Amino acid sequence: MGSPLTRQQVAEENGTMALKDEWQEQRAQRRQEITQRQQQVRHSLAEKRKQRRGVSALAPALLNIGEQSPVGEGVSPEGEIPDREAQNRLSLAQQFYPKLKKHTQAFLSSTGRERQARARQLAARLDQYVGELQQETRQFLALTATERSQMRSSLAKDLRDFHKTLTVTVARLRKSIQSEQRLTREKLAEDLASYVESLRVSQRSFLQHLKLARAERAQKLQQSLQQTRAERTASMRALYQSFASFRAQLREYRANLRQSVWGTPAPEPQPAASATTEIAPTAAGEPEAVLAVSLADEQQVYDYIQRCEVVRVADIEATLGLNRVQAVDILNSLLTKGLIVHGDRTYTVGQEVSE
């Protein structure tokens, strides 16, 4: 796509087109004048030809009469005397022929001189027109060059002024944008600092509330565990007591059966009784020790999960020194009580407990 034309180029093209139109108009006018002159010349020549044809038609007869009857000879070859009318015609013919010849030569010479004069005038006018056209063209080109120079200088000045104005405007706009950006950054920094501070305060208050809730929940859990442990201890004691009475009944049934079968009472094994007496308290006290160890391990594992939030079985084994069976049993117990939640091979504190 070409570059747009400048005002100077448009003015030059308009001037060229106007000059071309004027030259074409003058050319058409000259052609019209030439055509009119040619028509006039043709008309005048036609009139002259008509006159010459009339004279030419009459001239042979007159010439024949002149040849047959020369001037001064009034007697014909036959010796007849022409009448007065024939003599008058002959005299008129003899007088008309030189005049016609002279008139024709004068007409041809005047017509030639007139045509030459008109040709010289037309050539002079053409030379004058060509000179005027060349002068006007030179003046137009000089004026166009001057206007182009003035337009070029004016356009260069306008461009320099526009560049200066644009530079100042861009500098002001850049400065204003930088100031706005600085104010915006400061405001954003202040808002961010206030938001961070409020978030920290909210986090502290939430952690404090969560800590209190955890402590309260741990206390309730501890009470529940203690109550459950007491109930389990009581049930285990009742179970061992019933087991001791059942063993006594078995010994009595054995003695009765021996008596009925063998007829002799079975000797009472004193060492065995003492061993049984010694084993019973141990057996009765063993659930309490196992239950205490189990509750302590559960509390330890639960506290570790609560501190770390997300743990694995391997972490519990490595940190608390438990084997895989103990760790899995404790985790299953905590899952059954609803204290922890099992994820993708991880364990976390339950939502209700954390709340």
Asked whether the predicted pLDDT for residue 119 surpasses 80, the reply is yes
What backbone phi and psi angles, to 5 degrees, belong to 349? -70, 140
pLDDT at 292: 43
φ, ψ of residue 101 in degrees (nearest 5): -65, -45
pLDDT at residue 81, as a whole number: 46
- Rounded to whole angstroms, the Cα distance separating 63 from 61 reads 5
Mean pLDDT (the chain) is 78
- 194-207 per-residue burial string, b: 16 or more CB within 10 A, e: under 16: eeeeeeeeeeeeee
Please compute the mean of the pLDDT values over residues 224-250 and round it to a whole number. 88
pLDDT at 284: 38
* Residue with tokens 């004193």, as numbered in its chain: 270
- Is 272's pLDDT higher than 70? no
CA 330 – CA 300 distance, rounded (Å): 10
Q: Please tell me the number of Cα atoms within 13 Å of 216 on its side-chain side.
A: 10
Q: Identify whether the C-beta of residue 71 lies closer than 8 Å to the C-beta of residue 94.
A: yes
Whether the pLDDT of residue 352 is over 80: the answer is: no
The 10s digit of each residue's pLDDT in 134-189 is 988 989 999 889 888 898 999 999 999 999 999 999 999 999 999 999 999 999 99
- Report the residue count for the chain: 355
Torsion of CA 25, 27, 29, 31, to 10 degrees: -150
Residue 298: CB atoms within 10 A of its CB come to 19
pLDDT at residue 306, rounded to an integer = 87
Residue 290, pLDDT > 60, answer no
Q: What is the pLDDT of residue 172?
A: 92
Task: State whether residue 349 is helix, strand or coil.
Answer: strand
| CA distance linking residue 229 with residue 288, whole number of Å | 8
Query: What are the C-alpha distances in Å from 303 to residues 328, 334, 354?
Result: 16, 12, 12
pLDDT at 66: 46
Amino acid (one-letter) located at 213: A
Residue range 189-216, pLDDT digits in tens? 999 999 999 988 988 888 888 888 888 8
CATH of 209-354, picked from 1.10.3720.10, 1.10.10.10, 1.10.760.10, 3.30.1550.10, is 1.10.10.10
